[in-house]
Amino acid sequence: ATIPCALEWSDVGNWRAVEDLLSEDERGIAANTRYVQWESRDCLAHSTSGKLVALVGVEDLIVVETADVVLVCRKDKSEDVKQIVEELRRNGPPEYL
């Protein structure tokens, strides 16, 4: 049986898409974790451990913390993260893939 329903779909294939799913504060900071900022704006703060992210005097950054990796990049370079993945594939260490 099929049940019709209206669902909102979002392809979360990059960090910009993740940012679109989060609420932004008045300074344009979107976060899934606790954060504190000073003179910062238009950033994404994402943590899988719930660690506090501190943003000081930065703008247009993506800051991602996981159990194994910390990623910091400018929003306009977020698509270039795949270059880091390729570098890890070529030269390791493989446990970070």
> Residue 85 is part of which domain span?
15-96
Residue 1 in any domain: the answer is no
Residue 84 in any domain: the answer is yes
Model pLDDT for residues 1-21, shown as the tens digit of each residue: 667 765 444 444 577 777 887
Residue 66 in any domain: the answer is yes
Write out the two tokens for 72: 């910091």
Q: Using an 8 Å Cβ cutoff, are 35 and 45 in contact? A: yes
Residue 6 in any domain: the answer is no
In the chain, which ranges are continuous DSSP H helix?
A: 15-21, 81-91
Amino acid identity, position 26: E
pLDDT for residue 59: 98
pLDDT category of residue 95 using cuts at 50, 70 and 90: confident
- For the chain, the distance separating the N- and C-terminal CA atoms, rounded to the nearest angstrom, is 40
Model pLDDT for residues 17-65, shown as the tens digit of each residue: 778 878 899 999 999 999 999 999 999 999 999 999 999 999 999 999 9
Residue 10 in any domain: the answer is no
Q: How many domains does the chain have?
A: 1
Residue 57 in any domain: the answer is yes
Residue 8 in any domain: the answer is no
pTM of the complete model:
0.79
